[in-house]
Chain A
Amino acid sequence: EVQLVESGGGLVQPGRSLKLSCAASGFTFSDYNMAWVRQAPKKGLEWVATIIYDGSRTYYRDSVKGRFTISRDNAKSTLYLQMDSLRSEDTATYYCATVTKGYYFDYWGQGVMVTVSS
């Protein structure tokens, strides 16, 4: 059974940093592209970043480019999201997800809440 378990969320002040992790199991992690998708409270879904299966390429939405870094450790079957210079508009539940055919998210974690507030 595919399992994705996020951790590392919490309350952080604007301008500070936070690192999210996503532990994967039940599938061959190193075969899959992976992504982070977020959802602000009572709002819709927003793609954040994608990383290719071997970590060779990464893609970001414009609003997080230069502030967020997606990475992975295939030996540990773990996905990461380093978030720097956080803003109030980054407040959201962050989901990690597997990516298939370059675009659709077929398996999702339970999500982790990030609140950016002073």
Chain B
Amino acid sequence: DIQMTQSPASLSASLGETVTIECLASEDIYDILAWYQQKPGKSPQLLIYDASSLHTGVPSRFSGSGSGTQYSLKINSLQPEDFASYYCQNGLSAPLTFGSGTKLEIK
């Protein structure tokens, strides 16, 4: 199985700041990677697919990058609604695996 190591596990930031979340795959996943946002008590929502493609309706302050085994999610100019948990997901092969999550909190 492909392991997805996500960091940091938690992150405190202020409104307007820019933050980056990292995801390391245990092998090359050829950009077949997605990012999700999950707010407390809600279902996850797709943000990014194919490592850098923005899902419909997602604000442009979200961006994804990376290649090979290393990927990142960047959020520019943090808004109040961005404080949530974030997960990366491998799509190269079954079982489809998720990172352990990053909880983004307001400083």
Interface residues of A (CB under 8 A from B): 37, 44-47, 50, 59, 61-62, 95, 100-111
Complex Cα distance A36/B47, Å?
19
Interface residues of B (CB under 8 A from A): 32, 34, 36, 38, 42-46, 49-50, 55, 87, 89, 91-92, 94-101
Q: Is the CB of B46 within 8 A of A45?
A: no
B residues in contact with A109, CB < 8 Å: 43
B residues in contact with A45, CB < 8 Å: 36, 38, 44, 87, 89, 98, 101
Known: A45-B87, A104-B89. A111 touches B95 (CB 8 A): no
Question: Looking at chain A's contact residues, is the secondary structure mostly helix, strand, loop, or mixed?
Answer: strand
Most buried by A among B44, B46, B96, B99: B96
Most buried by A among B50, B92, B95, B100: B95
Least Cβ–Cβ distance between A24 and chain B, in angstroms: 14
